[in-house]
Amino acid sequence: MKQRSGFSVMARLVGLVKPLTGYMVLAILMGLAGHLCAAFLTICGGYALLAALGFPAGPSMGMLFGMIAVFAVARGILRYAEQACNHFIAFKLLALIRDRVFRALRRLCPAKLDGRDRGDLISVITSDIELLEVFYAHTISPAAIAALFSAILCLFIGQYHPALGLLALLAYLTVGVGIPLITSRLSGGTGMALRSQAGALGSFVLDSLRGLSEILQYGQGQARLAEMQRRTEELSRHEARMKRVTGRSLAATGVVVLGFDLAMLFASGGLYLAGAVGFDGVLIPTLALFSSFGPVIALANLGSTLQSTFAAGNRVLDILDEAPVVEDVAGRPAARFDGAAAEQVCFSYGEEEILHDVSMDIPRGQVIGIVGRSGSGKSTLLKLFMRFWDAQSGRVTLGSRSVSAINTADLRQMEGFVAQQTHLFHDSIRNNLRIAKLDATDAEIEQACKQASIHDFILSLPRGYDTPVGELGDTLSGGERQRLGLARAFLHDAPFLLLDEPTSNLDSLNEAVILRSLHRERAGKTVVLVSHRQSTMRIADRVYSVENGRMS
């Protein structure tokens, strides 16, 4: 994970506000006006007291009560409008950020995501992005409002005496800048640790839920629960530390505010005794400072919260900034499938070599079988044809062109890939199949299912093709999910089919049905069939064997 400074993260997050700059300016202006109304309610009370005591300075009593009524009503309206505007900005930006993150994941997929911790990724997409609401709704405009408001109040107080204006400036800087910085330093790396551990815990819980049947089967429930408890307690310790820092920050803020209030009272009193200011120069500056700490206190209270917010922002920016292993290709001449080949291909995951000097020829119209033990590199070779990764050396070609020189859209159109695990969405069977061809007719869908030997089963379900499959397809067996994956491939109708263990979850009878269908529908198609079963290879025109990354 790339470590960025808080300022760098803040600058990047502020940059995302650009599309909503007008709303942000409006929120700042309404917030500033609202806080000025709140402060001048008290100040008008001070002027009313001066008028009651017979001091000539200031507006008349009637005008003061009228101003107080106007300020009170305006304060409520402006406060509501400011918060509504800030939250509109925040939630609109969160939607835009989620859209950008999903676009980034599409760009990174599948190479980078193959080894990514799913639970941690879900934590980033949900809770980390949600935490940014604090920054967009309660940080940017409040910071600008505090700066402008403090400047206006310093000028107002300073008109009675420059020293009083400087004292007010020192008070605002201490509460609004000094205390948040100290709190942030005291928090240290707790915010990042908190977000990272929250993501790790989410991943652990997700894995536990998905593997619950296996956990129960092998009696690992107590061990898993104990580990979950340990991680939860560790997360609680970090959160408790954050809460302690927050509590101390609030206490320090209260003490500092009271101290500066007393300092203003004594300073203005001293100037009064020295004849530098009148009685109004004591009362009004003191009341003005008393009533004006709201905006800067809001900043002081964000000190510890911003640590978690910036940590969350850092994790989101990691995804947005991550460079894809394979860049999409566009703008090249259109490609036409005319066979495929691998020429002296070498590929490694990190330091682990998976394929070494692998060569194979896939003539158009043939069925090519690849056999080998698990982990020998069979699936990796198919993913190189799909260009999920690029080979470190050698060439992977379709026709006479390298897959890295073919438009990605053309490559996806020419290839149909059935992975070992078929991913189904929480939707109807019809919509899960239509992902392969959005404009497919019902007749085309049914024909694809007949080819995959799943049509009769679907018709036996209560709602037929409109039957929901449940989350991740859990309402279906492994073989049924696998046949739906094959139906997708048939519906896509690509000339080059890459099938990774397409019959691994099927019994011998259903395997024979699928193989007959593949043999029957092979006209005009080229098929690469990966399997560890020798029986699956009986329809292959040529069989390659992969052992320890080498082909024979």
**pLDDT tens column, 421-451:** 888 888 899 999 999 999 999 999 999 998 8
Cβ–Cβ under 8 Å, residues 466 and 430? yes
What average pLDDT does range 471-493 have in this prediction?
82
- For helices 221-273 and 303-321, what crossing angle results, to 10°? 130
Q: How far apart are CA 397 and CA 404, in angstroms?
A: 8
Tokens 């007291």 belong to residue: 49
Burial 331-370 (b: 16+ CB within 10 A, else e): eeeebebebbbbbebebbeeeeebbbebebebeeebbbbb
What average pLDDT does range 204-212 have in this prediction?
79
Question: Please, which residues have CB within 8 angstroms of residue 39's CB and are 6 or more apart in sequence?
Answer: 149, 153, 288, 291, 292, 294
Q: How confident is the model at residue 107 (pLDDT cuts 50, 70, 90)?
A: confident
Element housing 231 (H / E): helix 221-273
> Coil, strand, or helix at residue 454?
coil
Other beta carbons less than 10 A from residue 285's beta carbon: 29
What average pLDDT does range 371-389 have in this prediction?
86
Report the mean per-residue pLDDT for the chain: 84
Most confident of 228-242, 385-399, 506-520: 385-399
pLDDT at 109: 78
pLDDT at 371: 87
DSSP 99-133: HHHHHHHHHHTTTTGGGS-HHHHHHIIIIIHHHHH
Cβ–Cβ under 8 Å, residues 532 and 503? no
Integer distance in angstroms from the first to the last C-alpha of the chain?
41
Q: DSSP code of 537?
A: G
β pairing state of 526-531 and 367-371? parallel
How far is Cα of residue 41 from the mean position of the Cα atoms in its chain?
Answer: 43
Q: How confident is the model at residue 134 (pLDDT cuts 50, 70, 90)?
A: confident
**pLDDT tens column, 21-32:** 888 899 999 999
Neighbouring-strand partners of residue 531? 371
- Higher pLDDT, residue 170 or 126: 170
Amino acid letter, residue 389: W
Q: Which bin fits 60, alpha (ψ -120 to 50), beta or left (φ > 0)?
A: beta
Question: Please, which residues have CB within 8 angstroms of residue 105's CB and are 6 or more apart in sequence?
Answer: 113, 121, 319
**pLDDT tens column, 522-552:** 777 899 998 877 778 888 889 888 876 676 6
pLDDT at 251: 87
Other beta carbons less than 10 A from residue 137's beta carbon: 21
pLDDT at 305: 66
pLDDT at 520: 77
pLDDT at 535: 77
pLDDT at 552: 60
**Domains detected in the chain:** 9-321 (1.20.1560.10), 340-551 (3.40.50.300)
Q: How confident is the model at residue 294 (pLDDT cuts 50, 70, 90)?
A: confident
